[in-house]
Amino acid sequence: MSEEAKSLHFIEHIIEEDLQNGMPKSNLRFRFPPEPNGYLHIGHTKAIGISFGLGERYNAPVNLRFDDTNPAKEEQEYVDAIKRDISWLGYQWANEVYSSDYFQQLYDWAVQLIKEGKAYVDSQSSEAMAEQKGTPTKVGTNSPFRDRSVAENLELFQRMKDGEFKAGEHILRAKIDMEDPNMLMRDPIMYRIMHAHHHRTGNQWCIYPMYDWTHGESDYIEQVSHSLCSLEFKPHRKLYDWFKEQVYPLSAEQYPLLPKQREFARLNLSYTIMSKRKLLKLVEEGVVSGWDDPRMPTISGLRRRGYTPNSIRKFIEKVGVAKRENVIDVSLLEFCIREDLNKTAPRVMAVLNPLKVVITNYPEDKEEWFEAENNPEDATAGSRKVPFSKEIYIEKEDFKEEASNKFFRLKLGGEVRLKNAYIIQAENVVKDENGNITEVHCTYTEDTTKKVKGTLHWVSVKHAVQAEVREYDRLFIDEAPDSHEDKDFMEFINPNSLNIIQAFVEPSLAQAKIGEQFQFQRLGYFNVDNDATANKLVFNKTVGLRDSWAKAKPKENNKQQKPQQQNQRKAISVIQQLGKKYTNLPEEKQLKVRAEILELAKNVTYEELEPLFATAVKKAGTRIAAMLTLRVLLENGLEKNQAIIDFISKALEDKNELLVAEASKL
């Protein structure tokens, strides 16, 4: 098997097999079918990335189809937001279509199924239907209306369409098998009565098709070749196929291709909820300011917070396409935006918690403009001028009157370097009546060649621009806020998820535009919020320079974590330690260590392993240990993504023969 073939995920394997078995490549067609009842969130990006990614890979059309069959919950606002989000992510759809486009065709097919004795009008109450449907261990019983005549069913269905009945009086059900082990096959509902205004069809219809009837037949009408959905729809596949097989004889000439439904694991993210109903509750109860609140996991919220399309697409790529459900640590998403912004965001200076520093031996009316590099990661980013004067602001946290030798910031008698400027030494402090330090008096030296351990960011008081900074943190303090049977997810709201402060920024930011992104040096990544105006700068904190939650987790929480999770963390640490010495061991010892790594790898997740891919080239032993661990994960069903392919490719070009040997086995 070629390296290219091995790198395919399981859905691509299915498609490749279909092509090899004679399906013309021109028949490939995919779709993304959101329901316009809320904003898209980070969980949807996986489905978006899979379908549109396949479209890009195979140069095949991808339809954007809105599943608009429930007018009580759907709005044009959501349609517009979904289109905006998908475009922002960088994807193009071939056709914009709606399930409502097919209402007449679906109705006509339903009438035909009634005529063939495969559907009937049921007039039971919802409670009675639930009772007679049975349970997973108890077969259902037939409805007393199941044997209505074709003529009576046709008449009732027509009257339902004409609006003669109230909601709930009648429904149309498929006639399949009330004893089927799959409860979805026990005469599922096809149509219900809803007297509601539809955002596209107005009041034309008062009966609306159910999801299972609409979804598969919409795929069929659009001639979608591969209908991709998340794992919760796997039990629906049998019904999907049944409906499809009923309409095929009616329209085979017009629609010759039968779609194939396949399922993948949905994206679950720690410290996050993915239910649109629960996200709507956060909006309606004012916990957040709206669907695009930067704390929300919606795509519009992430965009407003400063996430980039590239970072989200890279995150989906790293997560990969899997068949089994798992929870991805939100820190991986944060890692992706840090990695992206590190390459692109200009470095600037801002002080969020200001403390005035007076440089006593600097001339009163003097000012200087120093050259400052915009981004050391980007040679084309150029530089800018930053002003310096007698009085500057530094962070309060960067000064202590007394501190140990391990405190490398400013302290009395100590020296630090000011970024892009001079070295200063703290001489004394000024305090208010409560004993709080209000000023630090320092002296400076023009000799910048001296070696000092600390470097601080700063802003000239004279030139500082005031700005509102919104520091955001995770919205929930629990890793799985909606997984507790005895508690409401709202109980886990983080009371400190938003902190609004007044800060000072360097004057180069005075003309910053909405959406522009910056690294506030030593603080994190920030972008200009939508609320900013010409007279008021507003910045959102996108993410810190490092993962602050990893260190902040309470020790008692660590004790309560599952033993398996503890073993995983221990395993990856031991693997790293074994790898450090691997290349210096004699061959016999290497074999023993190799076996130990392979055994430990069984308790490691991909999210723990992936950071080791960035190990320095000179640390060949650690890279070998990572390669061995990766081998076990791949053997246990992990699908290759681009990060894995790049890691293997780089290893194959390495000078270390042991590393090349292990990489060649993958």
Q: Tell me which residues are annotated as active site.
A: 35, 266, 276
Tokens, residue 143: 């409805």
List CB contacts of 42: < 8 A, sequence separation 6 or more. Answer: 267, 269, 272, 274, 297, 298, 299, 302, 312, 333
Alpha helices in 262-398 (DSSP H): 276-284, 299-305, 309-319, 330-344
Residue 540 · residue 306 · CB < 8 Å: yes
Full 3-state SS string of 503-522: EEECHHHCCCCCCCEEEECC
Question: Torsion over CA of 38, 40, 41 and 46, rounded to 10 degrees?
Answer: 140
Confirm if 612 and 622 have CB atoms less than 8 A apart.
yes
Work out whether the CA dihedral 577, 579, 582, 588 comes out positive or negative.
Answer: positive
Distance CA 437, CA 39 (A): 48
Q: Which residues pair with 538 in a beta bridge?
A: 468
Token pair recorded at residue 433: 């009546």
CA atoms within 13 A on the CB side of 85: 32
CA 35 vs. chain centroid, Å, equals: 18
String of b and e for 483-507 (b: at least 16 CB within 10 Å)?
Answer: eeeeeebeebbbeebbeeeebbbbb
- Note whether 357 and 391 are within 8 A (CB): yes
